[in-house]
Structure 1
């Protein structure tokens, strides 16, 4: 039995802690807040897990809300035209349903489960100086918290981090009362609405503290016409601005939002994030080591919805790496090897996200257009959210894209 510390109580940290606990390890989790404080606090993210990540939760018996959260059976893409219409509009079918559970619900529930199963839960914010002592008291220190002094211990990997500043301004509202899309009234789907030179609006069916809901999520280009949220603190005003932008740029989504209201006073979030990959191992002043977990070391813009998915996948990779290591010491070589296994998944997700943040090449725009008439193209794009590595085979290279379209059209 190994003695392991997990700093941070989010998707990755708690999933990993619960998995290690189930395999007989002595696990301590450090969290800045209690379960009740998290459950009653503001929303923290726009998570939507696809089939692979959901499978990792299910394998550990942690899919507590699978029968309560709405099941998204598809992923739709609409591109706004200058006249308020949709020159591109299609719905891709997912091979396995996606689900979104408010992190307040999941984190609080998992924290309580961890404690009920005998885990040690410490409510205290960890500083870098604390980790020096922890590295001597535990066989392994895992850092799943990426903000502040703790996050700064992991050095930026410049070769894998092309951006030095946030690429989008983010605004989120959890709402009740959103109507269905009239063209697909019986289909729950994640909706991606792209507005050239403005940003994007995502609509995500979810489960929150007060039951099923929808998440309205704007990704605004900095300095553009949708960059209107900085300094706005009032939740009602944030929702009003989100709806105003919907009316102006994506009226087909606004048309079903006439009865929406915030799920609760904490149901909004605004912020910005600089996409950054960090070196996976932090060396402490006296020589101790800590291994970074998920977005503590790979933080992508949420444009492609990979944050929570990569967190679940990282937890699964590290769980197997720790379990398979036996009684040997967790040295730097092992830590780097464990991260390399994770990067095999996170690297393709990072490449795809960074591609989508930049100007889209002509052949990619052609793929978006073709998906409106070729269902296999729409389906393959939708399922890329679950497996971003698949984009390497048909998405980035114009010749491969052309060959894929030709083969798909011929088959159709």
Structure 2
């Protein structure tokens, strides 16, 4: 029986450990915290997993919270204008629902399940010198702990890492009591963009105390949202979150009058540079270890892909290991396994890095056109589940122009100053007689907001 060591008990490490365990591998999992310590700790992320990522959990039978977590059926984008208006405001419907489960709940549950199924759990911090010894004792060592000394072993890939500093200051708050968005009667992730300032994401989730919502600010470093670093009190963190919503996004702030923190551990703040690293690290003795998920591909959370990438990486590595059979897990195998995962992750990285920069004209036009064209809103929303599709239109000005031209030719796109070609093209809750602008007019409004 092949012996495999996984260091780190997050989405990728635990999912991979449970998958390998089901296929008869002797798996040891090392983690710095017990399940109870995870449950009793601070929130770790803003995870929203889309259909394809959820499917990787279903295939392993570890989707334990699917019947309890809120069903997220849409994704909406709003852009704040300088006068408090919303020149861009639409919601797309997802083909398959998304879900968010507090990682304190999920990781603790998975860790206990892995142990109950006979897996060996070692609760202890790990150093590079520890790995040097472990690499001689196991057939394969994987590092899925995305922070600290172990990550520094993996060399930054400058050719795939355009940023060398954090591009956003992050502030997360879990709350109960948030009111609904009146524009639609289904649950949706809401992406609110404040040009030149940052973004607020709001998503339904399941936490330790039941259904809740996540308020997630991403602020441009040094800007007015970059104010959470020294805040230690959870109540003060919530108050500041709400004050910023009142200032920049009054339509979202109106939903917050009854909110309260889910628990004392329901806040988080920090920042990190988006980085792609070389997948294989060489230890002092010459032994090799393979990096997993955030260790080797750490994107900014602006596109909500962290847990999705982790699930896809775990599924990809599991397939590579199973297909490899009894052959040695050498450098060639490790690089080939990463390349297989990178074929998916590269699309996420390109899209995420693009979202961190000011939007180019074709994206402004696309978002504006989505105001009155449900096809566009739906395609952008579903791109969060299939990021490779963004290469065809979102990241390609020519592809975007062709796409808009195809919609116009089919009568599914509102011409400048014209009426919607489809009865359902008006955003939900809008006045069909309000004279909403067409793509060009919407683009001009968005440009005005972006350059205020």
| TM bracket (short chain) | over 0.9
Residue of structure 1 equivalent to 2:82 = 82
Contact 1:51 1:96 in 2 (8 A): yes
Contact 1:178 1:214 in 2 (8 A): yes
Q: Could you tell which deviates more after superposition, 218-227 or 208-217? A: 218-227
Per-residue deviation, residues 209-265 of structure 1 (Å, max 9, x unmatched)? 000000000000011111111111110011011100100111111001000000000
Residue of structure 1 equivalent to 2:249 = 250
Residue of structure 1 equivalent to 2:301 = 302
> Matches of residues 83-232 of structure 1 in structure 2 within 5 Å?
83-184=83-184, 186-232=185-231
Residue 109 of structure 1: SS of its match in structure 2?
helix
Residue 245 of structure 1: SS of its match in structure 2?
helix
User: CA separation in 2, counterparts of 1:114 and 1:403?
Assistant: 49
Residue of structure 1 equivalent to 2:284 = 285
User: Which protein has the larger Cα radius of gyration, Structure 1 or Structure 2?
Assistant: 2
Q: CA deviation at 1:410?
A: 2.4
> Matches of residues 307-326 of structure 1 in structure 2 within 5 Å?
307-326=306-325
Q: Does 1:259 align with 2:230?
A: no
Q: Which runs of 4+ in 1 moved over 6 A?
A: none
User: CA separation in 1, counterparts of 2:282 and 2:29?
Assistant: 20
Per-residue deviation, residues 248-299 of structure 1 (Å, max 9, x unmatched)? 1111110010000000000000000110000000001111000000001100
Contact 1:77 1:88 in 2 (8 A): yes
Q: CA deviation at 1:397?
A: 1.9
Q: Could you tell which deviates more after superposition, 227-236 or 334-343? A: 227-236
Residue of structure 2 equivalent to 1:400 = 399
CA RMSD of aligned residues (A): 0.6
Q: Could you tell which deviates more after superposition, 11-20 or 227-236? A: 227-236
Q: Aligned pair count?
A: 411
User: CA separation in 2, counterparts of 1:146 and 1:395?
Assistant: 29
User: CA separation in 2, counterparts of 1:34 and 1:59?
Assistant: 26
Q: CA deviation at 1:353?
A: 0.2
**Unaligned residue ranges in structure 2 (runs of 5+):** 413-452
Q: CA deviation at 1:148?
A: 1.2
Q: CA deviation at 1:409?
A: 2.4
Residue of structure 1 equivalent to 2:366 = 367
User: CA separation in 1, counterparts of 2:37 and 2:46?
Assistant: 19
Per-residue deviation, residues 122-170 of structure 1 (Å, max 9, x unmatched)? 0001101101111110000000012111010001001111111100000
Residue of structure 2 equivalent to 1:356 = 355
Contact 1:200 1:218 in 2 (8 A): yes
Residue of structure 1 equivalent to 2:435 = none
Residue 136 of structure 1: SS of its match in structure 2?
coil
Q: CA deviation at 1:183?
A: 1.5
Contact 1:374 1:409 in 2 (8 A): no
